[in-house]
Structure 1
Amino acid sequence: MDKMFELINSLNALTKAVTALTEKITSEYLNTFETIYDSEKDEPQETTAKEQPTPEQQTVTFVELRSRLSEISRNGHTAEVKELLRKFGADKLSDVAESDYTALLAKAEVIANAG
């Protein structure tokens, strides 16, 4: 019976250690996310009437573009997305020029809305 109690105590200690580690990692992850999110919000934004982006001039980030193209591709338009990348002179998304992100997204939206 002593061996059984030792095993149970060891498993309890292991469970506590894993729980503590999980809580620490989760807490650090959330703190990192909040730090990044807060720093993006705190950045001063220069706004003048001249520099105010219109809907057509809004910049699209790589992450936003990748996310939307992935969604369109998952909805059955993989071939169209690949062809669209080729039209922009790229074999993969990372090869697309940053200046083309907005135009690429606009054309991808046409594909998504057509299907």
Structure 2
Amino acid sequence: MDKGMNLINAMNALTLAVAALTDKVTTEYLKSFETIYDPEKDEPQEKPKKETKKEQPKQDEKAVSFVELRSRLAEISRNGHTSEIKELIAKHGAEKLSDVAEADYAALLAEAEAL
């Protein structure tokens, strides 16, 4: 009976260790995703060189994708503006970023970059 209990305890400890490892790996993967995938780096290098400062307001008028918005807001949030980002999202009538209407992406990004 003691050997059986020892085996059960060992398997329980192993299960807990695997669960903790899985949680750590998943968390680290999610945290590093923004670093791994940077949409600005994936764009051709020629584009930024050709643009002038006068063309940047036109870029704000362009449609902003969800990925661009999320990555830029994450960067601003990491710089210590998390609460302000949450307030901006709430100002646009949403509880979380995925609830923001696509039409509001450009306005939200402009307001966030002003922080």
TM-score, length-normalised on structure 2?
Answer: 0.49
Q: Higher helix fraction: Structure 1 or Structure 2?
A: 2
TM-score, length-normalised on structure 1?
Answer: 0.49
